[in-house]
Amino acid sequence: METFRLLTALGWRNLWRNQRRTWITFTAIGVGVWSMVFLASLTNAWAMSTFNASINTLLGHGQIHTQHYLEDPGVEHRLTITSQLSTSLNQPAIKSWAPRVRVSAIVQSERESTPVTLVGISPEQERGLSFIADAITQGSYFNNDNDPGIILGQKLLKRLRTDLNKRVVLMSQDVNGMIAEQGFRIVGVFETDQKETETLYAFVSIKKSQAMLGIGDELSEISFLLNNLDNLPAYLDSLHQLIPELKVSAWFELEPFTLAILDMSDGTIAIWTITMFILVAFGLINTLLMAVFERTREFGLIQALGMRPRLIVLQVLFESVLLIGFGVFAGLVTGVLSIEYFSGGLDLGALAEGATMFGAGRVLYPEMDWLQGFYIVIFVWIMGVVFSLYPAWHASREVPVETINKSY
Amino acid sequence: MIFQLAWRNLWRQPRRTILSSLAIGFTTTLLIFMPSMQNGSYDTMIESTLRLYDGYAEIQQAGYRDNPEVRNSIENYDTALTQLRKIPGITAAGVRADGSAVLSSATRSLGARVIGVQPDIEAELSSIPGNIRSGRYLDDLYSNEIVMGEILARNLQLELGDNVTLLGMGRDGSLAADSLILVGTFSTGINMMDRLMSEMPLGRFQESFSMNGHVHSIVMNGKTITDFEVAQPEARVIAQTNQLELLDWKQLQPGLWQGILLDISSAVLVYIALVIVVAFSLLNSILMSVLERTREFGVLLALGMRPAQISQMVWVETLLMLLFGLILGMLLGYGLTEYYAYAGIHFEQAAEVFERYGLPSAIYPKINLFTFIAGPAVIGSSVILAGLFPVLRIHLMDAVTAMRTV
């Protein structure tokens, strides 16, 4: 213990014998760690934004359909809420769920017509589950399950050259294979970051869509959100047992692209951390080597005075532990501060359309991931100390007599 | 003499020199390889996205892109086509007409986009003819045939040879109706296209939609996007003389272009951090090499060497070290890039998913003068800047105090 205290003290004092060098190395490590922490959080924010946008755009954490709906999303494939289904949906693991009718249709204004996906929703159940309730920018959301209006995206509205409160006609194939036609008044207009979404969907109330297609109270899909995403596998298992006749899909089976983006962002963070570390290590080894070389005489002397080579190694390692420790800590603090600065949202501004093309939102919200920060800190610290074994080993190999006699 | 002194000084501490040069070399390699990789991935992305359907550029009526109305059509396009085909760099040019309609089979009806194409030229403009999965592509300008996306055909419950009824709105507002035979299905991998698109012969389209011989867009293609961009200004002039608008790939795929800009800006942030870290560690090693020689410099000063000469010497040392690093990095960077440009960087796990969204599953880095020079130039200038600081210190030295320093 005594030796330990002595060695730490020696290491600490050695650091401040050459303050400028210590500060510069400290800065280099700090900038390196800062960039690791900050970029990791930006990449995470990007991935999370993609994930959330995807979950919000009608996906949910998972969906339930009949066996063949996904291959052929038509009115033929319908499900009813049986007692088993409603038990499985009212488990405590479920935060919310919503029934939907979802078939392809054509929307026609006085001037234009274009294909869309008709989505019949239950306004109250849909709120909080998907984006639509909060995305209305003109007009209003549906009041009840039997609301007679239609909600269209801003971009689709422009394409159809129609406007709020005007009428459009929806055409789709009904349960008998005939074309069902029905007029709706545009009661609401929605806008989203993903402009494509605005042209894809036409929302009507669930009862009206069921009546139009003649399907009673049957549905196309059920989308659900869990309280805790970690419970997804367990919940999926329980669903498979409760309702084996239905097809239950997790979000990543429905949107593999989102999963690929999440995986890629983890890879990016790892590659960047390692690359940056290699650079930091170059500077670190160089600095420590020099700190050791300019003290060859000193090392010879303390060896002559009876210090063991092993302890010299330790002394240099302590120096490096302290030096890296401070750098890493400073990097972490500045990293956290810059994340904090942008935590209100980093607006991608002019480049937002690019972000939305890859499924992310136009504003990123970086968040400090302490576990990840911890990994980065530990990785740099430990690896840095491992790399300083080389200079430390060098220091311990000085032969006392030769080095003491060495003159400059 | 100064050069010789500097050279020898460098090798008094071979380890430090080698480490510093390696640090510079490593950064240089990265800053050549990474931008080349981005460069290559952008080109593949642009080309694979545009080849799918859009073409490298399109000529349309002004405003058609935002407001694709059937009436917004082009009447005379023959002269423009002949002129465009003469421009070197443009390998193909053709026309298309575009409409939306309800397609019905015996059992189902679905909304879809119907494109009128010139079957003989289309293969050079888009990859749809090459992506036929069953049956064949169109082969006649007037036949009553249609090809459609695989998913669309499946959703309509159609088999090859089945009748498809088309109902839409013609150019003059009249009803467009036709009965066509499904001769082929295509699969582009893009869900939206496979679910919503169909193509029929242009001549037949013009009759059905009462187009009166009009079309909606002139589509052009080139060998590579870089080749094509050379030819683009000339094509733009032709568009303007016909009172039409040329849309380049950035206008055709604005999301892609901004995605690239976003990727560039985040990469620049990464590169700046890299350069800062390497400049700081270099500053450290140069500064130390100066400080540890304080006594020596004092002696040199006393012997009559001028401070300017000493700083020149240190300066040359830095430059030599930089030169080693840069040469090493440029060789490695070039070699690495060229190797992967040949072998390609494959994303095997994600390949399937990427293809579904039309993104390339392999990246071929592409080196050009900019990606080869820019990184090394930035590293070079920041190291030179970092090297300036220790040199300034030498001017502040006083011979006597310097010599007394241990």
Query: Does the structure show a pLDDT above 80 at B402?
Result: no
Give the helix ranges, DSSP H, for A170-255.
195-200, 206-213, 232-242, 251-254
Q: What's the pLDDT at A19?
A: 81
State CA B157 to chain mean position distance: 39
Mutation pick from B284, B286, B328 vs chain A, by most beta carbons of A within 10 Å, is B284
What's the average model confidence in pLDDT over B119-128? 92
Contact B277 A20 (CB under 8 A): no
Total CB pairs under 8 A between chain A and B = 174
Quick one: which of B145, B129, B125 has its CA closest to B137? B129
Q: What's the pLDDT at B198?
A: 95
Contact B353 A348 (CB under 8 A): no
The CA distances from residue B365 to A266, A396, B28, B165, in Å, are 22, 46, 16, 47
Q: What's the pLDDT at A407?
A: 54
The whole-angstrom separation of Cα A342 and Cα A365 is: 7
The CA distances from residue A193 to A46, A140, A160, A359, B180, in Å, are 14, 19, 20, 9, 39
The CA distances from residue B102 to A145, A163, A247, A348, B405, in Å, are 29, 23, 30, 39, 91
Residue with tokens 């109902």: B167
In chain A, % helix, strand, coil (3-state, to 5) comes to: 55, 20, 25
Residue with tokens 């490590």: A29
Q: CA dihedral defined by A75, A77, A80, A85, rounded to 10 degrees?
A: -140
For the stretch B186-228, pLDDT in tens is 988 777 788 889 999 999 999 999 998 999 999 999 988 888 9
Mutation pick from B262, B283, B291 vs chain A, by most beta carbons of A within 10 Å, is B262
Q: Which residue of A has its CA nearest to B153?
A: A72
Answer yes or no: are the C-beta atoms of A88 and A137 closer than 8 Å.
no
Contact B273 A276 (CB under 8 A): yes
Q: What's the pLDDT at B201?
A: 96
The CA distances from residue B69 to A346, B72, B98, B169, B398, in Å, are 38, 5, 9, 10, 82
| pLDDT band, very low/low/confident/very high, at A273 (cuts 50, 70, 90) | confident
Q: What's the pLDDT at B352?
A: 67
Query: Does the structure show a pLDDT above 90 at A403?
Result: no
| pLDDT band, very low/low/confident/very high, at A394 (cuts 50, 70, 90) | confident
Q: What's the pLDDT at A408?
A: 47
The CA distances from residue B159 to A249, B105, B134, in Å, are 29, 10, 10
The whole-angstrom separation of Cα B37 and Cα B376 is: 16
Q: How far apart are the first and last CA of chain A?
A: 36
CA distance B82 to chain A (A): 33
The pTM score is: 0.76
For the stretch A281-326, pLDDT in tens is 887 888 777 777 777 788 888 888 888 888 888 888 888 888 889 9
Q: Is pLDDT larger for residue B63 or for residue A146?
A: A146
| pLDDT band, very low/low/confident/very high, at A353 (cuts 50, 70, 90) | low
Q: Is pLDDT larger for residue A405 or for residue B146?
A: B146
For the stretch A19-69, pLDDT in tens is 877 888 888 888 888 888 888 888 888 888 888 888 988 999 999 999 988
Query: Does the structure show a pLDDT above 70 at B185?
Result: yes
Tell which A residues from 254 to 273 touch B, by Cβ distance under 8 Å.
256-257, 259-260, 263-264, 272
Tell which A residues from 348 to 407 touch B, by Cβ distance under 8 Å.
348, 350-358
| pLDDT band, very low/low/confident/very high, at B383 (cuts 50, 70, 90) | confident
The CA distances from residue A250 to A255, B141, B349, in Å, are 9, 46, 19
The whole-angstrom separation of Cα B286 and Cα B390 is: 7
Quick one: which of B126, B120, B117, B134 has its CA closest to B215? B117
Q: How far apart are the first and last CA of chain B?
A: 27
Answer yes or no: are the C-beta atoms of A375 and A53 closer than 8 Å.
no
Apex A33 CA angle, A367 and A285, nearest 5: 165
**Per the structure block, which two tokens stand in for B197?**
């698109």
What's the average model confidence in pLDDT over A358-375? 81
Burial B194-233 (b: 16+ CB within 10 A, else e): bbbbbbbbbbbbbbbbbbeebbbbbbbbbeebeebeebbe
Read off φ and ψ for residue A367, nearest 5 degrees. Answer: -135, 145
Contact A290 B288 (CB under 8 A): yes
Residue with tokens 């030819």: B231
The whole-angstrom separation of Cα A229 and Cα B22 is: 46
Q: What's the pLDDT at B291?
A: 78
Apex B119 CA angle, B117 and B122, nearest 5: 70
Q: What's the pLDDT at B142?
A: 93
Burial of B14 (0-12, 13-18, 19+ CB in 10 A): exposed
Contact B256 A352 (CB under 8 A): no
Query: Does the structure show a pLDDT above 80 at A198?
Result: yes
What's the average model confidence in pLDDT over B156-181? 90
Q: Which residue of B has its CA nearest to A161?
A: B67
